[in-house]
Amino acid sequence: MPTLTWVGKDKVVNHHTSVPFRVLQRESHFDAPDGTPANSTDNRIIHGDNLAALKSLLPEFEGKINCIYIDPPYNTGNESWVYNDAVNDPKIKKWLGQVVGKEGEDLSRHDKWLCMMYPRLKLLHRLLAKDGVIFVSIDDWEAGTLRLVLDEIFGTNNFVANVVWQKRTSPDSRLRLGDAHEHIFCYAKGKKLIVLNKIPQSEKQLSNFKNPDNDPRGAWVSTDFSAQGYRPNQMYKITTPSGREVSPPSGNCWKNIESVFLELVADNRIWFGKEGNGVPRRKTYLNESEGVSAWTWWSNGDVGHSQEAKSEIKDILSDCEDVFDTPKPTRLIERILQIATNKNALILDSFAGSGTTAHAVLKLNAQDQGNRRFILIEMEDYADTITAERVRRVMSGYGEGNKQSAGLGGSFDYYTIGAAIFNADDTLNEAVGVEVIRDYVSYTEGIATEYRTAQDNAYTQYLLGLSPETAWIFYYEPDAVTCLDLNFLGSLKFGANKPETAIIYADKCLFNKEFLTKHGIIFKKIPRDISRF
Ligand SMILES: C[S@@+](CC[C@H](N)C(=O)[O-])C[C@H]1O[C@@H](n2cnc3c(N)ncnc32)[C@H](O)[C@@H]1O
Choose among 469, 441, 460, 468: nearest CA to 530.
441
Output the CA–CA distances (angstroms, integers) from residue 334 to 124, 225, 303, 329, 338, in the order listed. Answer: 20, 33, 8, 9, 6
Q: How far is the CA of 352 from the centre of ligand 1 (A)?
A: 5
Kindly write down the DSSP assignment for every residue of 113-171, as one continuous string.
Answer: HHHHHHHHHHHHHHHEEEEEEEEEEE-TTTHHHHHHHHHHHH-GGGEEEEEEEE--SS-
d(CA 169, CA 180): 8
In the DSSP assignment, the letter for residue 450 is G
pLDDT at site 511: 97
Q: What is the pLDDT of residue 85?
A: 52
Please report the atom of ligand 1 found closest to the CA of residue 83: 25
Q: Which residues of the chain have pLDDT under 50?
A: 81-84
- Kind and range of the H or E run holding 501: strand 501-506
Pairwise CA distance, residues 158 & 121, whole Å? 14
Please state, in angstroms and rounded to a whole number, the distance separating the CA atoms of residues 199 and 295: 10
Taking the centre of ligand 1 as the mean of its atom positions, its distance from the CA of residue 449, in whole angstroms, is 33
Going from the Cα of 353 to the center of ligand 1, the distance in angstroms, rounded, reads 4
Query: Given this model, what pLDDT does residue 109 score?
Result: 84
Distance in Å, CA 461 to ligand 1 centroid: 42
Q: Give the position, in ligand 1's atom list, of the atom nearest the Cα of 120.
A: 19
Please answer whether residues 22 and 54 qualify as being in contact, where contact means their C-beta atoms are separated by less than 8 angstroms: no
**pLDDT (0 to 100) of residue 87:** 64
Whole-angstrom Cα distance, residue 282 to residue 225?
6
Round to whole Å and give the CA distance between 50 and 352.
10
Q: What was the pLDDT predicted at 82?
A: 44
The dihedral through the CA atoms of 221, 227, 232, 238 has a sign that is positive
Is residue 347 a contact partner of residue 337, using CB atoms and an 8 Å limit? yes
82 CA closest ligand 1 atom index: 25
pLDDT of residue 83: 46
Q: Within 13 Å of residue 237, how many CA atoms lie on the same side as its CB?
A: 5
Residues with CB under 6 A from ligand 1: 49-50, 71-73, 83-84, 324, 326-328, 351, 353-354, 356, 377-380
DSSP category for residue 209: -
What confidence tens digit (pLDDT) does each residue in 375-431 have?
Answer: 999 999 999 999 999 999 999 999 988 889 999 999 999 999 999 999 999 999 999
Q: What is the pLDDT of residue 79?
A: 52
Beta bridge partners of 224: 281
* Distance of CA 283 from the midpoint of ligand 1 (Å): 46
- Choice from 83, 115, 117, 417 to test ligand 1 binding pocket (greatest atom count within 8 A of CB): 83
pLDDT tens by residue, 34-50: 999 999 999 999 999 99
CA 390 / ligand 1 centre spacing (Å): 15
3-class secondary structure, 51: helix
List the residue whose alpha carbon is closest to atom 7 of ligand 1.
Answer: 327
Buried b (16+ CB within 10 A) or exposed e, 188-226: bbeeeebebeebbbeeeeeeebeeeeeeeeebbbbeebb
Question: Minimal CA–CA distance to 391: which of 44, 81, 61, 125?
Answer: 44
Alpha-carbon gap, residue 340 to 496, rounded angstroms: 47
Reported for 328-332, long-range contacts at CB under 8 A and 24+ positions apart, including other chains, are: 328/71, 328/137, 328/353, 328/356, 329/303, 329/304, 329/305, 329/356, 330/304, 330/356, 330/359, 330/360, 330/363, 331/302, 331/303, 331/304, 331/360, 332/165, 332/298, 332/303, 332/304, 332/356
Greatest distance between any 2 Cα atoms in the chain: 98
